[in-house]
A and B are shown apart, each in its own frame.
Chain A
Amino acid sequence: MYPENFFYTKDHEWIKIEGDEAVVGITDFAQKQLGDVVFVELPDVGAELGFHQSLGVVESVKAVSDIYSPISGEVTGVNESLNDSPELINEDPHGEGWIIRLKIKDASEQEKLMSVDEYEKFLEGLED
């Protein structure tokens, strides 16, 4: 169920690498844990992010959760649709619910990320 061509983090972010750019969002597991998303605090375009630096916040009816950047880079785009329709994160977390686009600064950081198999195994470990 998790896209094969994505990479994943232990904080349940996904990242889709497209050359020297990437798209970032949170996984289906994360959106289920959060519950109905009511607000997303997005970063400014142009913001510089370090590896695992907080890029923004996802707010549900019961919790507020930081989103950490899976890779360092510069924000080139944010999903403005989330301002009016934050529920996109619940409905389509791996597609329409994407959060930011960025230009990758240090491609070697990819090695710190999990593949889809590793992530699914990681999730099984959590459910025990």
Chain B
Amino acid sequence: MPMSYISLSDKEKKAMLDAVGIASVGELFRSIPEGVRLDRALSVPEPLSEPELTSHFEKLANHNRYSDFLSFLGGGIYPHFIPALVDYLASRGEFVSPYTPYQPEVSQGTLQAIFEFQTLICQLTGMDISNASLYDGASGAAEAVLMASRINRKTKILVARSLHPHYRQTIATYIRNLGLTAREMKVTPAGTLDLEDLESGLDEDTTAVIFQSPNYFGVIEDVAAISEIMHRHQALSIAVVTEPVSLGLLQPPGLQGVDIVTGEAQSFGIPLSFGGPVLGFMACKNEFIRQLPGRIAGQTRDVDGKRGFVLTLSTREQHIRRERATSNICTNQALCLLRATIYLETLGRNGLRSLAHINMQKAGYARQLLTGLEGVRDVFGGPVFNEFVLGFDRPWEEIAAELRDAGILGGLALGPDYPEWAGCALMCVTETHGKDDIDRLAAALKEALS
């Protein structure tokens, strides 16, 4: 069998040109007018040899100093330990190389993984149906808002201020020309969604509220109370989860009246990288299945009666519904989805619960230790998962600079997104932080505040 994947030789090229009756490759482009031809080589550097190229990329990669630091940064993307099994299985050629599973007869492995992921998401969120993933939590939040509006045909969306700033921005971008309006719901002094503001902000044209729990400040919301208020006014409850490890411990949104759950599954086996790629997920109640955007894998039987998997309910999608489709997304994050599935199945139910416990306890220890320091205060006070906000007697920018000099990325400044909490910082503590790491932060913070 001839090798098909090596470059053409000049002899092979000449044979092809002769076969179509032209003298040069340039003649194939003769329909392009003279006036728009470049007539010179592209302004790109000369090719590099493999050793030169390797050296070039190594120099670029060495600009990354993140691994030099002890980091307590969270804010929507979280540092978690990834078992070697995830990289090992997910980098198998059978998983890394195939294209989208449109042909079920050659894609059963991929489709089974998607089906398992969907099942896991439903188990974790307590919802009936999940899609095959979206790009990220932010676009998931925007899609959820559009979905709610399609379901009840109402046009006002209430957006919690305690929802991640990037997600709020993304929602605003998506709804800009679609006749939907957003109204922001206040944050209470306890760091939660203001339920009174929510109830007074509702009217008969409100489609839903979209909120996050644990929210951007790490605070756990009263999800059931929010859902109850919305349903009493014939509107929907959309919960966003940016840290799904919390679902290993907290009650699932589906058991708290939530209609649509969406968010970020990056915590399940996907590295931080430079902020991506990540993994959006979305799940809903059974009655809304036809309004769910994205792909859905379904279980069925083949002609011999054997179980198999296919992409299903495709009539929601744009290749059939065109401008009336549920979304213009025509993809899913297959490889990240696979990593998340392997990660969750490696941990198992008990492992995830254990992991969630560890996260919560370590964050609790850090919070207690740090607020015990002079000049540090607990800003919100309520129950948190693995993130919390601290206030300081000295401008955060100054503290952060000193911590950086000590090799520590102490926390995310809240000021840029929340001027009302300027000078405060969001700290994240996970199972990747040892007691000695937390103690080191406390010592450096004490030093910076002395």
Indicate whether A and B interact.
Answer: yes
Chain A hits for B320, CB < 8 A: 63-64
Beta-carbon contact of A39 and B321 below 8 Å: no
Contact with B along A23-67 (1 / 0, CB 8 A): 000000000000000010000000000000000000100011000
Chain B interface size, under 10 / 10 to 19 / 20 to 34 / 35 or more: under 10
Residue in chain A with minimal CB distance to B322: A64
Residue of B315, B320, B321, B324 contacting most chain A CB atoms (<10 Å): B315
A67 and B321 CA atoms in complex are apart in Å by 14
Q: Is B440 an interface residue (CB 8 A)?
A: no
Q: Interface size on A (CB < 8 Å)?
A: 4
Contact with A along B298-331 (1 / 0, CB 8 A): 0000000000000000010000110010000000
Q: Is the interface of B mostly helix, strand, loop or mixed?
A: helix
Chain A hits for B290, CB < 8 A: 39
A107 and B321 CA atoms in complex are apart in Å by 33
Q: Is the interface of A mostly helix, strand, loop or mixed?
A: strand
A59 and B290 CA atoms in complex are apart in Å by 11
Residue in chain B with minimal CB distance to A59: B315
Nearest-Cβ distance from residue B136 to partner chain A, whole angstroms: 29
Nearest-Cβ distance from residue B25 to partner chain A, whole angstroms: 42
A63 and B324 CA atoms in complex are apart in Å by 13
A39 and B312 CA atoms in complex are apart in Å by 14
Chain A hits for B324, CB < 8 A: 64
Q: A61-87: which have CB < 8 Å to B?
A: 63-64
A63 and B319 CA atoms in complex are apart in Å by 10
Chain B hits for A63, CB < 8 A: 315, 320
Chain A hits for B321, CB < 8 A: 64
Nearest-Cβ distance from residue A19 to partner chain B, whole angstroms: 32
Chain B hits for A64, CB < 8 A: 315, 320-321, 324
A64 and B321 CA atoms in complex are apart in Å by 7
Chain B hits for A39, CB < 8 A: 290, 315
A59 and B315 CA atoms in complex are apart in Å by 7
Nearest-Cβ distance from residue A122 to partner chain B, whole angstroms: 27
Chain A hits for B315, CB < 8 A: 39, 59, 63-64
Chain B hits for A59, CB < 8 A: 315
Residue in chain B with minimal CB distance to A66: B324
A39 and B321 CA atoms in complex are apart in Å by 14
Nearest-Cβ distance from residue B104 to partner chain A, whole angstroms: 14
Residue in chain B with minimal CB distance to A63: B320
For the complex with contacts A63-B315, A63-B320, A64-B324, 6 further pairs of A-B residues with Cβ separation under 8 Å are: A39-B290, A39-B315, A59-B315, A64-B315, A64-B320, A64-B321
9 contacts between A and B (CB under 8 A): A39-B290, A39-B315, A59-B315, A63-B315, A63-B320, A64-B315, A64-B320, A64-B321, A64-B324
Question: What 7 A-B pairs come out closest when comparing CB atoms?
Answer: A59-B315, A64-B315, A64-B321, A64-B320, A39-B290, A63-B320, A39-B315
